[in-house]
Amino acid sequence: MNTFFRTIFPMLTAGALAITAESCGGGESDTIDFVTRADSTAVLLPDYLGDSAYVTSRYSVVWPEKIKSQDFDAFKDSLVNITFGTTGSNTFDQAVAEFMKQPLLTAMDADTMTTLPADYTTAMESLYITVNDVESNVSLLSPDLLVIDVAHYSYMAHAAHGMSTLRFLNYSIKEHTLLTPDNFFTSDAAGALGPIIKEAAQKKYSENALFADATYTIDNFRITEENVEFVYQPYDVGPYASGIITVALSHYDVRPYLTPVALSTLGL
């Protein structure tokens, strides 16, 4: 079954984008609808460690409104948690409120420091700035599978460097379930795949890019059309300078370690 994408620009607030994926020949019950939600904020701290510093928060995230006729509340809860770093059953608006104020709470003592409203664009051009940023997008959408990438970046004013991370949500439309390490991989997969991933990483990256004693877990993975990618944040398996490490194994390489749910979703 072929899938086509229709992009719609409705009369919504700035930064809003609606995307609809519809199976050819299907009716309204076959549609998959998203809306992109975005906002940013900035404040000025006139006296932060002897300098004027800005604190900013920004998010631009893909939010599923409808996945055919499925109940996918558990998926939306997981998406909120992984996107905004919350736990429990926070609503989208509650999670956003916590996310937007977090860098300010980290940067200042609310009882002693003065804050002033600031323009976000001006703040981002400043030398001294604390940043909290998250952006997500759909990296794969088929009749059977939805994958959303969630990229975080944070930086604390006066710190040596910022921190970038990349995480994923893989959702089986075919099986109506969020794909996690527990239901995607077999119980022996972690022990079996670790050495295979390590060998592939050593072939892809230089010796200095990886820690010799690193442990390669299968917790953070992204499904693509042909591969399963295992992704490691800075310091997980290599130094900060190596950035985010990505190791891809083909569907057929990982097939012996996949559950029936995974095999069904991938059509193997």
Could you tell me the end-to-end alpha-carbon distance of the chain, in angstroms, rounded to an integer?
16
Q: Give the three-class secondary structure for 70.
A: coil
Three-state secondary-structure class, residue 198: helix
Average pLDDT on 199-220 reads: 97
Whether the per-residue pLDDT at 9 is higher than 60: the answer is no
Same domain, 116 and 217: no
- Do 46 and 151 belong together in one domain? yes
Q: 32 lies in a domain?
A: no
Band (1; pLDDT cuts 50, 70, 90): very low
Name the pTM for this structure. 0.87
User: pLDDT band at residue 220, thresholds of 50, 70 and 90?
Assistant: very high
pLDDT recorded at residue 3:
33
Mean pLDDT along residues 204-221 = 97
- The model's pLDDT over 124-156, given as tens digits with 9 standing for 90+, comes to 998 888 899 999 999 999 989 999 999 999 998
Same domain, 220 and 268: yes
* Best-predicted range by mean pLDDT (39-48, 81-90, 138-147): 138-147
Residue that finishes a domain, picked among 179, 201, 234: 179
CA distances from 75 to 188, 211, 233 (A): 25, 34, 23
Whether residues 135 and 165 share a domain: the answer is yes
Q: Is the pLDDT of residue 89 over 80?
A: no
